[in-house]
Amino acid sequence: MNTISMPPLLPHPTFTLYQHEPIYDPDIHLSLTEPDYVVLLDKFQRVSKTPKVDRSVTSNVDGQLAYTSPFQVLSDKGYRVLLMIIDRDQAYQKNDDIATVHIRDCGYRSKWIQDFNRCPRVLNHLSKITGDVQLLPVAYQIFYSQVNIGFPNGLNVTQYHCDSVPYVLLLRASDMNKTIGGDLEMIERESKEAFHLIEQHKGEVPDEYTRKIEYGDINSCILMQGSRIAHRVTPIDSCSEPRITVVNSYMTNNPYAFDYARYSFYKKESTAALEYAMHKVWRANGQMLELATGDHPYPTNDEIIEHLTMAIDELTQARHLISDSKSDQIGYFDQKNQELHNDRSVDTTMM
Ligand SMILES: [Fe+2]
């Protein structure tokens, strides 16, 4: 398999990087530990480690991991820097349809956040935990370390959805020892079946189908293949402080993997068109590069044409979506109105 480099860092049309913040140093800011167990997509079985599987680059299988038990990524010093950045960026809080409050674009304002999301040591650690996929940061820089903030208001902190990024690293950034509710809950079924259950039970899927995902204490993380699992965060009944999580988003380095990206969900953001175009160009480039430099016999003309067609299709889809001639919206369950929306945008990295 070729080593495909990560998508480039982009500038922002408005934001510039803060000048006065610590320089990211993995020796100081990381304290990587292993999860005690992982849960696999296959029958949602709990095992001590994800089995290692040798995959061909042309496989479109995303990986076996459902989610992990809590583990640590940042050291105490790293966590303090992250809290400082969250505190500084409070002015950029926003709302959307299905989440409560979030802060995006941290990866356009902070070099530290950029380096944390792109850190090879973190990427290698997380990739080993998946057992079989090499992770890279997503091309959508807007989602680098998105901050989600939940308050007690009687509604799901986030509604049932699947993510439109393949993998998420969720970091707990507030003390929830005195919080009642606000649980990350998943449906232990293949996602299509899960959404049937959600509709059938009007958003209140019986406990026999669901599982609360253990999140750990402050500064603990879980890694989850949220694109494959229907999940929500239950309402917060009471709390001593808001529920804050930080979400790093990752994709596999396999340019043939199923593309979970949903442009329509965030197309109103000022950087969406360029980010999504870069994402599709990254995939098309990877597909062509594999043909040119992969470890296989010299390609036939038919194989060259097949790869060209794949790459053209990626770019054509981007052009359709960015020009608004097509939509890639998918559904989510609206708790307030008790209905499954198939015609509205879905959340991406909310936890
Ligand atoms: Fe999510």
- What torsion do the CA atoms of 337, 199, 351, 179 make, to the nearest 10 degrees? 70
For the chain, the 3-state helix, strand and coil shares in percent, each to the nearest 5, are: 30, 20, 45
Q: Tally Cβ neighbours within 10 Å of residue 155.
A: 16
Q: Return the pLDDT at 335.
A: 60
Q: Which residues surround ligand 1, an ion (CB under 5 A)?
A: 163, 226, 350
Domains of the chain, by residue range, sit at 26-341
Q: Which residue type is seen at 322?
A: I
From the list 251, 39, 79, 233, the residue with the least C-alpha distance to 171 is 79
Cα 170 to ligand 1 centre (Å): 10
Cα 163 to ligand 1 centre (Å): 5
Give kind and range of the element (H or E) at residue 246.
strand 243-252
Cα 44 to ligand 1 centre (Å): 18
pLDDT digits (tens, 9 = 90+) for 175-193: 988 889 999 999 999 999 9
Cα 186 to ligand 1 centre (Å): 10
Q: Return the pLDDT at 333.
A: 61
Q: Return the pLDDT at 351.
A: 36
Q: Return the pLDDT at 331.
A: 59
Residue position matching structure tokens 């990211």: 24
| Cβ–Cβ < 8 Å for 161, 198 | no
In eight-state DSSP terms, residue 78 is H
Cα 248 to ligand 1 centre (Å): 11
**Regions of the chain where pLDDT drops below 70:** 1-3, 54-61, 96-99, 330-351
**Homologous superfamily (CATH) for 26-341:** q2cbj1_9rhob like domain (2.60.120.620)
Cα 211 to ligand 1 centre (Å): 15
Cα 164 to ligand 1 centre (Å): 8
Cα 103 to ligand 1 centre (Å): 15
Q: Return the pLDDT at 61.
A: 64
Q: Return the pLDDT at 204.
A: 87
Cα 98 to ligand 1 centre (Å): 11
Can you tell me the distance from the alpha carbon of 203 to that of 198, in angstroms, rounded to the nearest whole number? 5
